[in-house]
Amino acid sequence: MEITSVNKSFCGWTKHYTHRSTALNCDMRFAIYLPPQTANGQKVPVLYWLSGLTCTDENFMQKAGARSIAAELGVAIVAPDTSPRGVGVADDDGYDLGQGAGFYVNATQAPWNRHYQMYDYVMNELPQLIEATFPVSDKRSVFGHSMGGHGALVLALRNPDTFQSASAFSPIGNPVDCSWGQKAFAAYLGKDKGAWADYDASLLMRKAKGAVPVLVDQGEADDFLEEQLKPETLEASAKESGYPLKLNRREGYDHSYYFIASFVEDHLRFHAKHLAT
């Protein structure tokens, strides 16, 4: 690994790194916030943040206002990039496919399958690297925004024994039934819609057997609410299966980091409670 920046923040440290990813077959970036409790060797739990379309490892750390609460609670935050990048990595002219738009799936279709194995990266390779390198425990929770909210929910629903909790801001709740998801899944996964279902939180929640507690916040003034996000499908799935979903609809809030910063403390405290059990 190579460290690219270090900034002291709320008596802890925000650090950015690059490393060679075996899963993605390219160099990757991630950010980590280490709270002050780690200075004396204490191992802290980790909260993984997955960002949305066009974002990088920097957006959440700079804009969300989460570090002061993480410092108080003694929780590390790790934010990976949203996709593989670099010369030779497949891309698309649209913002919603290719670099910056990995959708946290394992691509099976050429040319995407050579690099776009984001599910394996965030589920296995990156946590193994974090746990081997930093003073953290093996307790994990996951949260994210939009495309990253989709990724966070899918990871937790598919791996209930790995994550203590999951949450999302404005997640793409039913990607098999919206244009963002359909475009990405067709490219990355091909025509077999059975494979698509493995990455759809609403479909997974409808038949979920494990029960990772889930918190979702959705702004009612979100421009993407009806066409892309479809929180009502998550609600219907949770009702059908009895899943422990709490979904807050926030009047007047949009899709931006102003929304995330307004409620990020609620999410960190939610996760800290479950990471402590």
Positions marked active-site: 146, 222, 255
Question: What is the Cα 125 distance to its own chain's centre?
Answer: 15
Tell me if 118 sits within 8 A of 184, measured CB to CB: no
Percent helix, strand, coil in the chain, to 5, is: 40, 25, 35
- Ranges of beta strands (E only) in the chain are 2-9, 12-21, 26-34, 44-50, 76-80, 136-145, 163-169, 214-219, 245-250
> Dihedral of CA 263/268/274/277: which sign?
negative
Query: What CA–CA distance (Å, rounded) separates 142 from 156?
Result: 7
User: What is the residue whose two structure tokens read 């993480």?
Assistant: 70
Alpha-carbon distance of 4 to 277, in angstroms, equals 34
